[in-house]
Amino acid sequence: MLMEIGRVCTKIAGRESGNIAVVIDTINANFVMIDGYVRRKRCNINHLDPTPLVIKIQKNASTEEVKKALINANINPKKEQKFIKNFNPKEKKQAAETSQKVKTKETSPKKKKSKDNAK
């Protein structure tokens, strides 16, 4: 099975996309339990990108055990970009560009009082 216990994966969907996770249990054919540099939770295997790395952990290992195993395998969260294949985050706009723009207020033309309406 591709998603075996101890398989190091990269999340590719959700707010934790780009983070490294480890499979700690297989629930069924479509779902696994993950932990590591993400919150411990059930995850769809379609939302994971498996890497060739497999670490030795027991089934349902604690979060501390998983993180220690990742550190011993020299896998830390700062190296996560190495595992991501098609991850291109949007570049941040520089503050200098936004400060150069001058904001102008758009005003509508004022209505003039005519002498005919004053009578």
| Domains of the chain and CATH, by start | 7-79 (2.30.30.30)
CA–CA distance, 4 with 118 (Å, rounded to integer): 86
Q: Return the pLDDT at 91.
A: 59
What's phi and psi for 6, nearest 5 deg?
100, -5
CA–CA distance, 47 with 34 (Å, rounded to integer): 11
Q: Return the pLDDT at 119.
A: 55
User: Amino acid identity of 116?
Assistant: D
Q: What are the beta bridge partners of residue 11?
A: 48
Question: Does 99 have pLDDT greater than 90?
Answer: no
| pLDDT single digits (tens) 38-94 | 999 999 999 999 999 899 999 999 999 999 999 898 887 764 555 544 444 555 566
**Local structure of 56: helix, strand or coil:** coil
